[in-house]
Amino acid sequence: NAGVTQTPKFRILKIGQSMTLQCAQDMNHNYMYWYRQDPGMGLKLIYYSVGAGITDKGEVPNGYNVSRSTTEDFPLRLELAAPSQTSVYFCATSPGLGRLTYNEQFFGPGTRLTVL
Amino acid sequence: GENVEQHPSTLSVQEGDSAVIKCTYSDSASNYFPWYKQELGKRPQLIIDIRSNVGEKKDQRIAVTLNKTAKHFSLHITETQPEDSAVYFCAASQNSGYALNFGKGTSLLVTP
């Protein structure tokens, strides 16, 4: 099993460009999350989803959008990239309600994004 | 919302010594407290967690304690080894979506 995968691993964007960060999981987890990690800081929640078709904002959602059409995929869309979005982005999953370890989170390898 | 404070921000110990990292949280509704280890350039990895109905949990050289009344929890690493060197993050989670609120991390250096 691949677990949680993210693509791309690295990306450089110009100001104003758009892109989609991909996240996929084969763990059959219901809950998925997007975090960003700035240097020397903890992770901050951007968006999360408790199941296909359901998404909700986290602490820092401005400048981002998400969709969840399947259990396996949870892409993060950046519109009009800005230098403040330079960060490392981590996708994570957890089993969700009804599972014994319902809120244990497992992280993908991350995408390092630079906006110039 | 939840606010998680983590101390110290850096910690240097000699191999074989113990290391303790402390976190406080603000929301009494938080009920799940994991600890993650992140090596340079890698993803955070869950190393131990504790739920609000338990006061202490141990797994070999690592242990976590929780004081719900004081709203703080701690990570204890005994007999530290150089491979324990990493950034450690504490986090707290409520029921809503189970999203984690992270502390800012502690950079642990274990010198031989």
pLDDT, residue A99, reads 62
pLDDT, residue A98, reads 67
Token pair belonging to A32: 């998925």
Between CA B7 and CA A100 the distance in angstroms is: 31
Min distance A104 CA to chain B CA atoms (Å): 8
> B28-32, B55-59, B103-107: which has the minimum mean pLDDT?
B28-32
pLDDT, residue B49, reads 92
Token pair belonging to A8: 């791309």
Q: Classify residue B43 by burial, with Cβ atoms within 10 Å: 0-12, 13-18, 19+.
A: buried
Beta bridge partners, B62, equal B59, B77
Nearest-CA neighbor of B33 among B105, B81, B98, B78?
A: B98
Is the predicted pLDDT of residue B97 greater than 70, yes or no?
Answer: no
Between CA A89 and CA A110 the distance in angstroms is: 5
Q: What is the mean pLDDT of each run of 10 residues along chain A (116 residues)?
A: 93 97 95 92 92 93 96 96 96 80 86 96
From residue A79, alpha-carbon distances to A21, A46, A57, B92, B108 in Å are 11, 14, 16, 30, 37
- Whole-number average pLDDT of chain B: 93
Cβ atoms within 10 Å, residue B40 = 7
In chain A, which residues have their Cβ closer than 8 Å to the Cβ of B97?
A: 31, 48, 50, 56
Beta bridge partners, B86, equal B108
Q: What are phi and psi of B84, to 5 degrees?
A: -80, -10
The pLDDT tens digits of the residues spanning B2-18 come to: 889 999 999 999 999 99
- CB nearest to B43's CB, from A44, A56, A107: A107
B-interface mutation test, from A57, A103, A106, A112, most B Cβ less than 10 A away: A103
A104·B42 Cβ contact <8 A? no
Contacts of B4 (CB under 8 A, 6+ apart): A42, B23, B24, B25, B26, B90, B91, B92, B101, B102, B103
Nearest-CA neighbor of A46 among B26, B99, B32?
A: B99
Nearest-CA neighbor of A38 among A90, A92, A75?
A: A90
Cis peptide before A8 (omega within 30 of 0): yes
- CB nearest to A103's CB, from B89, B93, B105: B93
The pLDDT tens digits of the residues spanning B27-36 come to: 988 988 999 9
Contact present, B34 and B46 (Cβ < 8 Å)? yes
Beta bridge partners, B106, equal B88
In chain B, which residues have their Cβ closer than 8 Å to the Cβ of A105?
A: 34, 46, 98, 100
The residue with tokens 């995929």 is A73
